A and B are shown apart, each in its own frame.
Chain A
Amino acid sequence: MKTRSTLAIKKSIGLITLVTGLMICMLLSSPVYGQSNKNTVVQEQQKERIIKGVISDEKGPLESANVILKGTTQGTVTNDKGEFTFPKPLKTNDILLVSFIGYETVEVKIEETTTFITLKLTEDLVEFIGELNTNKLYKSKRSKKKN
């Protein structure tokens, strides 16, 4: 009987210690997280920068290619030298979509060191075929002699 109750006490002490320990951990750890978060945000904000680049294809600079920030409508087009300056400062890990009709779209991830993008687009190798629809009634070809 006695041993049982001691065991029970020991168990509950163990449980209390564990819970207290966890609570202390949470108390300690949350401010630590908060700080590190703040730090990275500050770092990234500091690193927000204007990205420039030049887009070309096999023949040379590609005019009117689209450069947009993925998931938004923010973007710009390249000039006659294939150059662009992105209108909004970008941060590390942003993704730019570079596209032009008839070319494979390329995703460019902004790395920590990225400031200038040089990119060559490759043609989308679509083979064009086509059949128009019509309501014109089918007509059998018949030999001229009458039945």
Chain B
Amino acid sequence: MRLFAYIFLFVFVGQLYAQRSDFKEIDFNKADSIALSHKYETLTNIPQLSHKLTSQLHTDVEKFRAVYKWVCDNIENDYTQYAKNTRKRYRFKDDSLNLTNWNTQFRTSAFNKLLQENKATCTGYAYLVKELARYANLNCKIVNGYAKTGNTNIDKLVAPNHSWNAIELNGKWYLCDPTWASGIQNPESLQFVFQYNDGLFLTNPEIFAINHFPENKKWLLLESKAHTLNSFLEAPILYGDAYINFNAHSLPNKMHNTVKKNDAVVFKFQLQRPIEHEDIKFLMDNGNKMKTVIPKDITVTNEELTIIHRFNKTGFYDVHFFIGDDVISTYTFKVTKKTKSYKTY
């Protein structure tokens, strides 16, 4: 019986990727409250801050949590720095001398901003998480790579544009993105707003890979060879709320789709938490108006959510998927007429 249980564990659990649920028994409240009690600490003494955040905690995952949570709650995303850096890096993308000069100059000012104003861009977040973790004897790395949001201009995505972290806990590597977890850019004012997103802490690598593609593929933490820079660029856009609701999203695996009128279009997600069926909706924009569409064909089996939708009118649609008020993902659909016979040209 016991042997059977081990075989079961090996075959089924062994295939699951490193993620938050590995630490179900851990209550992160203690780590979070320690992080909160050190709000407004400055970065003038990183070793000391690390000690304050972690010395009362006994497990590595809690120590890491305290460090990560502190960075997410205290470091402000610097939009001005971000915009300037993105512009310059794009301008110098084929000019390695100027790019190196710019990087050196920007590094100095970035570290100063971090030290004096607790403001950073992604690498600043990832750097701080790594440094604070290091003083708690945790093995944490900065991962550089490509990332995609609703705002990213894919055509300009020619070089890595984002940094996140990989952390080794109990001999396994996990992923997290402190920058995106800390808050979002207000769509109107473009200003940063603190809004902690817990879905980006020890995130399932499958959903993480949809809009994070590391320079070094080993940091995908996925065995599948199907993930390439191209498949990443073609993938749908995921928003922050997706990480709170889902562990994986397999269909549609492309952002831009062409379908025939009345054909079945399948959406598949791996649920992270139970959802109410009546919360599921699409917002469809055909260029003239936005329309809310409540899908009728919804099934949930083994925590896999499947939605089937049929477009009954031709056109070009931006399709946004929502769970209640949470915005999950975006696709485009070109819906064409159903042809009766196969045409040859």
Q: Which residues from chain A sit less than 8 Å from chain B, CB to CB?
A: 64, 66, 68, 72-73, 75, 77, 97, 99, 101-102, 105, 123-140, 142, 146-147
Contacts and interface: CB of A to CB of B under 8 A. Distances in A.
B240 to A, nearest CB: 6
B51 A128 contact: no
Contacts of A102: 107-108, 111, 114-115
Interface string B51-86: 110000000000000000000000001010110011
Contacts of A142: 287, 316
Interface in B101-135: 103, 106-108, 110-111, 114-115, 121-124, 127, 131, 134-135
A102 B135 CA distance: 15
A130 B150 contact: no
* A66, A101, A142 — most chain B CB neighbours (10 Å): A101
* A123, A126, A138 — most chain B CB neighbours (10 Å): A138
Interface string B306-327: 0000000001101010000001
Given A73-B51, A101-B115, A135-B239, A128 B106 contact: yes
A125 B106 CA distance: 11
Interface stretch (B39-47, B201-209, B225-233): B39-47
A129 B161 contact: yes
B44 A64 contact: yes
Given A128-B123, A132-B79, A142-B316, 4 more contacts: A129-B160, A129-B161, A133-B185, A133-B240
Given A97-B47, A136-B150, A128 B318 contact: no
A131 B127 contact: no
23 contacts: A66-B47, A73-B52, A75-B45, A77-B45, A102-B115, A105-B47, A129-B89, A129-B122, A129-B123, A129-B144, A130-B77, A131-B122, A131-B179, A134-B187, A135-B150, A135-B240, A135-B241, A138-B330, A139-B318, A140-B316, A140-B318, A142-B316, A147-B287
Q: Which secondary structure dominates where chain B touches chain A? A: mixed
B123 A130 contact: yes
B332 interface: yes
A142 B46 CA distance: 49
Contacts of A77: 44-45
B270 interface: no
Contacts of B241: 135
B44 A127 contact: no
Interface of B: 43-48, 51-52, 77, 79, 81-82, 85-86, 89, 103, 106-108, 110-111, 114-115, 121-124, 127, 131, 134-135, 142, 144, 147-152, 160-163, 179-180, 183-185, 187, 192, 237, 239-241, 283, 285, 287-288, 315-316, 318, 320, 327, 330, 332
Nearest to B45: A66
Given A132-B79, A134-B184, A135-B239, A126 B161 contact: no
Nearest to B146: A131
A93 to B, nearest CB: 19
Contacts of B163: 129-130
Given A77-B44, A140-B332, A131 B152 contact: yes
B330 A137 contact: yes
Contact of B318 (A64, A75, A134, A138): A138
A147 B318 CA distance: 15
A133 B179 contact: yes
Contacts of A129: 85, 89, 121-123, 144, 160-163
Nearest to B108: A102
A132 B185 CA distance: 7
A131 B78 CA distance: 10
A133 B192 CA distance: 9
Contacts of B185: 132-134, 136
Contacts of B51: 72-73
Given A133-B180, A136-B150, A126 B127 contact: yes
A139 B187 CA distance: 13
